[in-house]
Amino acid sequence: MQEDGLFLQQMTKLDEIDHRILRELSRDARQPNLALAERVGLSPSACLRRVQALERAGVIKAYRAVLDPEKLGLGFVAYVTVGLNSHTKAAQEAFERAVARAPQVRECHNITGTVEYLLRIETADLAAYKHWHTDVLGVLPQVQSITTFVVMGSPKDDRA
C-alpha cells in the first residue's frame, strides 16, 4: 500500500485499484464508502484514503448529479459548431463570456479544425432553439458561421 504522500506524487501513474475506484464513482458517486470498498477490493479505511488522495490531487474534480433533460422540459438537444470572424484573444473571450451567460449552452469547447467552438445546446423544443439560434447566438458580433447537428438519440452518454 502506498503512503498518501507518495501516492499524491505519483498520481499520473494510477494503478488498477485507482481505475476501479474511478469507474465505480463515475457510475454512482453517492454510494457509501463501505460499498465502494467492497466493489474495488479494499478495506473501507484504505478505500477512503485513496478517494481522498484522488480528490486532493485533482483527479476527482467534482461530484455532480446527472439530470434528465426531458424531465426538465428540455427535449431538444443539438451540437452547434461556431466559427468566429476574428481570431483574436479579445474576440474569443467576448464569445466565451456571452455563451457562459446563456443557460441553453450546457457545454462549450474550444476546438481545433475549421471552426473554433463546439457547443451542446438544450432547449424545450425546436422553436426555443430557433429563438436562441437567431436572437442570441446569431447577433453576437464575433460569430461568422453556425452549423447545427440535432441529436436524434444517445445510445451511450457517460457524461456526469
The CATH architecture assigned to 70-150 reads 2-Layer Sandwich (3.30)
**Domain boundary assignment for the chain:** 4-56, 70-150
How many whole angstroms separate alpha carbon 108 and alpha carbon 81? 10
CATH code linked to domain 4-56: 1.10.10.10
Query: What phi and psi values does residue 132 have, to the nearest 5 degrees?
Result: -65, -45
| Grid coordinates belonging to 43 | 478495506
Exposed, middle or buried, 68 (CB in 10 Å: 0-12/13-18/19+)? exposed
| Beta bridge partner(s), residue 107 | 120
Q: What is the pLDDT along the chain (160 residues), one digit of tens a residue?
A: 455 545 544 545 899 999 999 999 999 999 999 999 999 999 999 999 999 999 999 999 999 888 888 899 999 999 999 999 999 999 999 999 999 999 999 999 999 999 999 999 999 999 999 999 999 999 999 999 999 999 999 899 887 6
